[in-house]
């Protein structure tokens, strides 16, 4: 059984993809909107559209973070505040420091 449960592990993988997309979208949207804004009205509209897409990516990232936090809270039976570094050793240490025990273990 995964440490976060099956549903939590699936959400963690979705969250990882969202975080990569959000990290990439920010500089691409910034540079792209600057370059496109030099092209007149059509370029301005394309730049604004690019920034709106980047904002939508960030909104999905933040919603995914909330879902992951909710799943972790359900898994440990307490309200989880904050996130650990996600690797096995630091996650186990974070659980022990916060008094979160794995179900069945």
- pLDDT tens track for 18-64: 888 888 888 888 888 888 878 788 888 888 888 898 899 889 888 88
pLDDT grade for 102, boundaries at 50, 70 and 90: low
Q: Dihedral, CA atoms, 65, 91, 21, 44, nearest 10 degrees? A: 60
Indicate the burial class of 12 (C-beta count within 10 angstroms; 0-12, 13-18, 19 or more): middle
Query: Which pLDDT belongs to residue 74?
Result: 82
Instruction: Over range 77-85, report the average pLDDT.
Output: 75
> Of the candidates 10, 13, 12, 26, which has an alpha carbon nearest to the alpha carbon of residue 59?
26
| Whether pLDDT at 17 is above 50 | yes
- pLDDT of 1 higher than 50: no
Asked if residue 86 has pLDDT above 80, the reply is: no
Average pLDDT, the chain: 80
Q: Percent of the chain at pLDDT above 70? A: 89
């Amino acid at each position: 059984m995964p440490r976060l449960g099956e549903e939590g592990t699936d959400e963690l993988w979705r969250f990882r993809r969202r975080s990569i997309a959000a990290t990439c979208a920010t500089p691409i949207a910034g540079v792209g909107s600057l370059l496109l804004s030099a092209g007149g009205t059509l370029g301005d509209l394309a730049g604004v559209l690019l920034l709106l897409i980047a904002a939508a990516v960030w909104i999905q990232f933040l919603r995914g973070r909330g879902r992951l936090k909710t799943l972790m809270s359900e898994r440990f039976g307490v309200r989880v505040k904050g996130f650990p570094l996600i690797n096995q050793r630091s996650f186990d240490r974070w659980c022990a420091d916060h008094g979160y025990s794995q179900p069945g273990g």
